[in-house]
């Protein structure tokens, strides 16, 4: 098991994960990042016309993966 940290980046913000999470593999860390993005998007979607979020995954050696999610909400009429 290794400790992975999940830093969240918004448009102009970076929130560093100071605690991290013990996970068995990089694949598990990637799944956790994807699930976390989905949860964040659900929480932030109210009223947001455009948004881009990313999670940068790192371990003791440095950044090992990243996940991105972007959306645009546009009224057509």
Looking up tokens 């949860």, which residue turns up? 39
What's this model's pTM, rounded to 2 decimal places?
Answer: 0.84
For 2-52, the pLDDT digits (tens) are 999 999 998 788 999 999 999 999 999 999 999 999 888 887 766 666 678
In the chain, where the domains are located: 2-72
The tally of CA atoms less than 13 A away on the side-chain side of residue 61 is 4
CA–CA separation, 5 and 77 (whole Å): 43
Contacts of 20 (CB under 8 A, 6+ apart): 3, 4, 5, 6
Report the pLDDT value the prediction gives residue 52, as an integer from 0 to 100.
87
**What integer pLDDT is reported at residue 40 of this predicted model?**
85
What is residue 61's DSSP assignment?
Answer: T
Q: Could you read off the pLDDT of 41-68 as tens digits, one per residue? A: 887 766 666 678 999 999 999 999 999 9
Q: What is the pLDDT of residue 72?
A: 81
pLDDT at 10: 84
């Amino acid at each position: 098991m290794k400790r992975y940290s999940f830093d969240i980046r918004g448009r102009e913000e970076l929130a560093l994960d100071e605690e991290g999470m013990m996970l068995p593999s990089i694949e598990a860390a990637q799944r956790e990042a994807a699930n976390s993005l989905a949860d964040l998007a659900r929480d932030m979607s109210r009223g947001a016309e455009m948004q881009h979020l990313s999670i940068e995954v790192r371990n003791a050696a440095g950044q090992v993966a990243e996940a991105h999610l972007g959306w645009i909400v546009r009224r057509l009429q």
